[in-house]
Amino acid sequence: MDHQQHSPAPITRTVLIDQPLPAPLPVQRVEVRRIVIAPDTAGGLHRHNGPVFGSVESGSVVYQIDGEPETVLSAGDTFYEPAGARIARFDALESGVTFLGYFLLTAGQQAELEFLDR
């Protein structure tokens, strides 16, 4: 009989998101922001001038790209907002939400958020 104890690997790597971009993007820098949204706060219809990737650190949020089904994201979940896509919902639920947003930026570009009327 084998009585050896197997210890877990000291390092594990898990791919959380592998999102192709619609076209090559000459990324010069990535800006990472920690964003906190208070409980029960609606983010409002918006779009970004470049692709945004994110990961939820704590809490939960309703996420929806305009015209697509909504999803509830919780701690550990990741998301992708395509450049120029209309984000219909990014609404914090009763616990609020804290997430990291990764903004892919080209030379001289600043991350911009535009709120839309509809």
Residue with tokens 């029960």: 40
pLDDT score of 57: 98
Maximum C-alpha span of the chain? 69
pLDDT score of 3: 61
pLDDT score of 2: 56
pLDDT score of 93: 98
Structure tokens given for 10:
């000291």
The reported pTM is: 0.89
Spatial separation of the C-alpha atoms in residues 50 and 104, rounded to whole Å: 6
Label residue 81 exposed, middle or buried (CB < 10 Å: 0-12, 13-18, 19+): buried
pLDDT score of 85: 98
The low-confidence residues of the chain, meaning pLDDT below 70, are 1-4
